Amino acid sequence: MKDVYVLGIETSCDETSCSIVKNGIEEINTVILSQIDIHMLYGGVVPEIASRNHVKDIVFVINKCLKDSNMSIDDIDAIAVTYGPGLVGSLLVGLEAAKTVAYIYDKPLVPVHHIRGHIYANSIGKGMTFPVLALIISGGHTELLYMKDHFDYEVLGSTLDDAVGECYDKVARVIGIPYTGGPMMDKLAHEGKDNYSLPIPMDDDSFNFSFSGLKSAVINLAHNIEQRGEKLVKEDLACSFQNVVVTSLTSKTIRAMEKYNIDNLILAGGVAANKGIREKFDTLSKEKGFNFSYPNIKYCTDNATMIAAAGYYLYKNGNTSDLSLNVESSAKFV
Ligand code: KG4
Ligand code: ZN
């Protein structure tokens, strides 16, 4: 069977990225330019600045990706691009670049939902196994997705308010940890003790999550400590916070696996990089005997490798688009 090479483009937030992936599994080359240092000065992503930087970098990133792979555009079978969700100005830069390349070189254009990309980060180096439960934990999503096959899935539960990554970032800001707070909170959590008492959110029989109450509880706790003139131990608060997040995510996920008789679990999204969450699921998978895997840490946060990987399966399934394709900043996955 002929090998299929997909060139992926991702610009939904503050990373400008291009990647070439073979047969949805093998990464040939990836280029990522992160704008994190620029946005850090503002304490979060500034959409206007993000799109301007994508415009500045996108041609360089695509050219470099091809050049460093020793490939030409003639070797590419399809162009996959994130069409949403994300920042509208940022998405537009990637999409217009992809459409231009597809038009000039007469290549099929494959629209990829950003969350599908995060899920297919699991395909890189190993492929996908079904049925599988995907726990999607990112800056914008918290979902339990039961995937019977590539294109046959149902949402078992999702967050009713904040996404887990959003909660990490907001809590981090309150306790004085700079953007992006998630990775630093994870690091501090491993240095602290579980000394603060925080409520387990949405401790019920559903598969839904809620993180805004936890966020408020941390903010109130931090303010109370400050008012009493006491010292907040950031490491301990990060540890207590992370333990509650891990308990909430693991208890509902395990219950869903048991209820639906699913033997395979994958993590997807930026928060899948979290050491505490990975460690707990690793332990549980050994105890309970299910298969657990997660993407290599470099594929957890935004990158075009995952978009090219997801694009391969969409392309094989005939999910291509004409040049009228537009961005959808709030695109729903299911
Ligand atoms: O998947 P992603 O790029 O966001 C969306 O597509 O929505 O992930 C970014 C999120 C941020 O909220 C960031 O703080 C969080 O992932 N994150 C982490 C860790 N690494 C990244 N959260 C907790 N622990 C980490 N190690
Ligand atoms: Zn993302």
Local confidence band at 194 (pLDDT 50, 70, 90 cut-offs):
very high
Ligand 1 atom at shortest distance from the alpha carbon of 277: 24
Contact call for residues 243 and 218 (beta carbons, < 8 A): no
CA neighbor of 232 nearest in space, from 218, 217, 222: 222
Look at strands 78-84 and 26-34 and give their pairing.
unpaired
CA neighbor of 98 nearest in space, from 214, 209, 16: 16
- Residue at 237 is within a domain: yes
Give residue 178's pLDDT. 84
Residue 2 Cα, ligand 2 centroid: separation in angstroms?
31
Q: Buried (b) or exposed (e) across 2-24, using 16+ Cβ within 10 A?
A: eebbbbbbbbbbbbbbbbbbbbb
Residue type, 76: I
Residue 87 Cα, ligand 1 centroid: separation in angstroms?
16
CATH number of the CATH domain containing 252: 3.30.420.40
User: What value does the mean pLDDT take over residues 51-77?
Assistant: 98
Grouping H, G, I as helix, E, B as strand and the rest as coil, residue 325 is: coil
Residue 182 Cα, ligand 1 centroid: separation in angstroms?
6
Q: Are residues 50 and 135 in the same domain?
A: no
Residue 163 Cα, ligand 1 centroid: separation in angstroms?
10
**Hey, whose CA ends up nearest to atom 5 of ligand 1?**
139
Which residue out of 120, 158, 168 has the highest number of ligand 1 atoms within 8 Å of its CB and is therefore the one to mutate? 168
Q: Are residues 159 and 274 in the same domain?
A: yes
Please indicate whether residue 182, judged by its CB atom, sits closer than 6 Å to ligand 1: yes
Q: Are residues 212 and 278 in the same domain?
A: yes
User: What value does the mean pLDDT take over residues 66-91?
Assistant: 98
Q: Are residues 227 and 134 in the same domain?
A: yes
- Residue at 52 is within a domain: yes
Q: What is the pTM of this model?
A: 0.96
Grouping H, G, I as helix, E, B as strand and the rest as coil, residue 116 is: helix
Q: What is the pLDDT of residues 246-294, one digit of tens each?
A: 999 999 999 999 999 999 999 999 999 999 999 999 999 999 999 999 9
Q: Which domain holds residue 145?
A: 130-293
- Residue at 334 is within a domain: no
- Residue at 332 is within a domain: no
- Residue at 236 is within a domain: yes
Q: Are residues 171 and 273 in the same domain?
A: yes
Q: Are residues 312 and 278 in the same domain?
A: no
Grouping H, G, I as helix, E, B as strand and the rest as coil, residue 3 is: coil
Grouping H, G, I as helix, E, B as strand and the rest as coil, residue 192 is: coil
> For the chain, what is the domain count?
2
Q: Are residues 62 and 211 in the same domain?
A: no
